[in-house]
Structure 1
Amino acid sequence: MSQSRLTELTWREVRRAGEDGIALLPIGSQEQHAAHLPMGTDTLLVEAVVDRALALLDRETPAPEVVRLPALPFGHSPHHLFAAAVSLSAQTLGAVLDDVLDSLVTSGFRRIMVVNGHGGNDEIMRLAVKRLALRAEVTAAACSYWTLSDGDHETGPEAEVAPGHAGWFETSLMLAAHPGLVRTPVPARTPVEPPPLFDHPPHPGLTVERHGEWERVDGSTDDASGADPDRGGRLLDGRARGLARAMHAFDRATRSSPRTEEKK
């Protein structure tokens, strides 16, 4: 078996899988996504990309051995508490990731990959992976799903607004992955002046946060009323193919560590 779910394995099967397999942890959030998308959008989308990527890998020979963990459904979302969110502090999310990753190492895994679905988790996730590699003999990787693609050049709305928040990109993906959860018709977004600085910094390379911005833009970064399920499906597939390629590359690069080679 090249792929399995941690929830469905016995402890002995987990130990065997950890010898050569990659533990894959998706992480998401529960937070407002404007008036038309559900709170769990980030979790639902990262799961959709992960599951499509694993389905692609399962068709290949040989396929990397992957143990998929249940998605962590809570993330760092204090900027969405103005409406509704279930948010962990940065310190708590970092500690939760430390505990989960340490548990995987103790259970026998030496290769771990974290795939993220929420922008507020990104820096915290990457720091957790760096800390893990400093304290344990493990190789770990991290990515946010929207940063990966199949290499096709994207033009139009997807190139301009990805990933955004509750806008054209996420709404298109949700229309493809979970159309029944999108409240339609999707309302047009009213432009605000001045535009929010978190999405349009005054100078390239700056990260700018201004108090009250998210509430002022009513919880979304861009207009989702023209969201397209067909384009959303292609974008989902592209991210899944990108993740599958990334997992293949991670597998090839980490099958034998330098330390293992020295012992032979």
Structure 2
Amino acid sequence: MPELTRMTWREAATAARTGIALLPIGSQEQHAGHLPMGTDTMLAEAVVDDALTRLCGDPDVVRLPALPFGHSPHHLFAAAVSLRATTLQAVLDDVLDSLATSGFRRVLIVNGHGGNDEIMRLAVKQYSLRADVALAACSYFSLGADAGTPGHAGVFETSLMLAAHPDLVREPAPRPAVTPPPLFAEPPYPGLTVERHGEWARAGGSTDDATAATAAGGTALLGRRGSALAEAIRAFDLATRETHASTEGEA
């Protein structure tokens, strides 16, 4: 797959005429006692790479190196490297501006961390008001018919890591019961976002018990997430190809 890091500038300029620049973003933050700090970044990359393998070069996608830092102040009770929301938005704005100035007219951001989601979407909405580009953003876990709330350091992420990076997964401990239940995991009314001070520390840094996670389950999850992302990339390409992809003869 074409990777920006391995291209010369002329190769990148040629790819920019018709291709989609794809930026994975993640975080460095605690994932309970059994998953590494870079889980969100590694899973975003794993799903992106699975999707690009499925696409077999059609459409043309240029994969950028992953942005490894995100907005994680809610995990600083344990350990995290967190950017302020305004900093992350500014970084994304600079990346989008750099890509547009370099000739890319289409960019897709693929996110692996819940704390980045709203900021990423706002960055895309705001930049598209200033430049003649077509932009898209998604969190890999929210795509497709079977998308749901994946949780944090629980069965979903642990299963995916067992499939993608089994050597980095430690033995998960059973999650103790938390009373009352943290509101971020069980809001009092559907559609209501609730934040309560100290919830993540009180819950031990995870949303659910990871002991039921399996590599087989993770392989199936990775396949479904990669397939959904591949479909999303195809749809973005078809919707924007005529308006924001240059012809081969254009400079």
TM-score bracket, normalised by the shorter chain, equals: over 0.9
Amino acid paired to 1:90: A
Say if 2:163 is the partner of 1:176.
yes
Query: What do residues 44-85 of structure 1 show as CA deviations (whole Å, max 9, x unaligned)?
Result: 000000000000001x7xx10110000000000000000000
Corresponding residue number in structure 2 for 1:204: 190
Say if 2:89 is the partner of 1:79.
no
C-alpha distance in structure 2 between counterparts of 1:187 and 1:173, whole Å: 17
Distance 1:129 1:239, change over 3 A: same
Query: What do residues 81-120 of structure 1 show as CA deviations (whole Å, max 9, x unaligned)?
Result: 0000000000000000000010000000000000000000
Corresponding residue number in structure 2 for 1:224: 210
C-alpha distance in structure 2 between counterparts of 1:64 and 1:37, whole Å: 34
Corresponding residue number in structure 2 for 1:163: 150
Amino acid paired to 1:98: D
> Identity of paired residues, percent?
68
Query: What do residues 5-48 of structure 1 show as CA deviations (whole Å, max 9, x unaligned)?
Result: 00011111111111100000000000000000000000000000
Q: Following TM superposition, by how much is the alpha carbon of 1:147 offset from its aligned partner in structure 2, in angstroms?
A: 1.0
Alignment map for 1:141-160 (pairs within 5 Å): 141-149=136-144, 151=145
Amino acid paired to 1:171: T
Amino acid paired to 1:163: P
What SS is found at the alignment partner of 2:129?
helix
Q: Is the 2:35–2:158 Cα contact (8 Å) retained in structure 1?
A: yes
Say if 2:106 is the partner of 1:120.
no
C-alpha distance in structure 1 between counterparts of 2:230 and 2:244, whole Å: 24
4+ long deviations beyond 2 Å: none
C-alpha distance in structure 1 between counterparts of 2:244 and 2:125, whole Å: 18
Corresponding residue number in structure 2 for 1:11: 9
Q: Following TM superposition, by how much is the alpha carbon of 1:132 offset from its aligned partner in structure 2, in angstroms?
A: 1.2
Corresponding residue number in structure 2 for 1:22: 20
Say if 2:45 is the partner of 1:47.
yes
Q: Following TM superposition, by how much is the alpha carbon of 1:246 offset from its aligned partner in structure 2, in angstroms?
A: 0.5
Q: Following TM superposition, by how much is the alpha carbon of 1:259 offset from its aligned partner in structure 2, in angstroms?
A: 11
Amino acid paired to 1:144: S
Unaligned 5+ runs, structure 2: 247-251
Corresponding residue number in structure 1 for 2:180: 194
C-alpha distance in structure 2 between counterparts of 1:235 and 1:54, whole Å: 16
2:104 to 98, 109, 112: 109
Query: What do residues 196-232 of structure 1 show as CA deviations (whole Å, max 9, x unaligned)?
Result: 0111111111110000000000000000011111011
Tell me the TM-score normalised to structure 2 length: 0.95
Q: Following TM superposition, by how much is the alpha carbon of 1:258 offset from its aligned partner in structure 2, in angstroms?
A: 8.3
Amino acid paired to 1:109: F
2:91 to 96, 99, 106: 96
Amino acid paired to 1:87: S
RMSD of aligned Cα (Å): 1.6
Say if 2:219 is the partner of 1:233.
yes
Corresponding residue number in structure 2 for 1:251: 237
2:128 to 133, 150, 165: 133
C-alpha distance in structure 2 between counterparts of 1:114 and 1:88, whole Å: 17
Aligned residue pairs total 247
What SS is found at the alignment partner of 1:23?
strand
